[in-house]
A = this chain, B = another copy of it.
Amino acid sequence: MAVRLDDIDRRIIDLLRADGRMSIRAVAERAHISRANAYSRLERLRNQGVIRGFTAVVDPEKYGTALSAYVSVRIEQHSWERFRSYLRDIPEVDHAALVSGDVDLLLLVRVADASALRTFVLERLQRIPEVKSTQTMFILDEPHLEGPLPRDA
């Protein structure tokens, strides 16, 4: 599953994580490689799926979703596959993970206000038959952690 990366690959990834719109010229310079090499490496990284794409980083509060919450969910056994397909159509869910432990799912949810959260949990989540129970944890603070990725351990 993992891909073998050398230092230059990681350097390229770090640069493009720091600034996803950096020109390939600048990437090549800062990684001390030729432009042709930078192109071929970037293409390889994308084809291998290491770099899945590029995106704008949006501030949820400034965008209008002033309220964020983690909603932990317990679901019926063997219903994850079905539940997962629902998630695709729920734009409020920013991130979802099936986890081991007391609960089955952790959903990171972004909504405009408490009323929208109520609607989401009661009218959307708990209407799903596979959902056994939910618990909402309001996010009180959320620091921006935009550092380089961890080196191989």
Contact = CB atoms under 8 A, between A and B. Distances in A.
A144 to B, nearest CB: 7
Interface in A11-55: 13, 16-21, 48-55
Contact of A97 (B56, B96, B141): B141
Please tell me how many copies of the chain the complex holds: 2
Interface residues of A, number: 76
A21 B150 contact: no
B87 A149 contact: no
A-B interface, 8 closest residue pairs, ranked by CB to CB distance from nearest? A20-B54, A16-B56, A116-B153, A99-B137, A98-B141, A101-B137, A112-B153, A91-B150
A118 to B, nearest CB: 11
B56 A57 contact: no
Contacts of A66: 1-2
Contacts of A5: 63-64
B52 A59 contact: yes
Contact of A138 (B65, B91, B100): B100
Best-buried of A21, A113, A135, A139 by chain B (most CB within 10 Å): A21
A84 B143 contact: yes
B145 A93 contact: yes
Nearest to A9: B63
Contacts of A119: 153
9 contacts: A2-B66, A3-B64, A20-B20, A53-B146, A55-B146, A88-B147, A94-B145, A98-B141, A112-B153
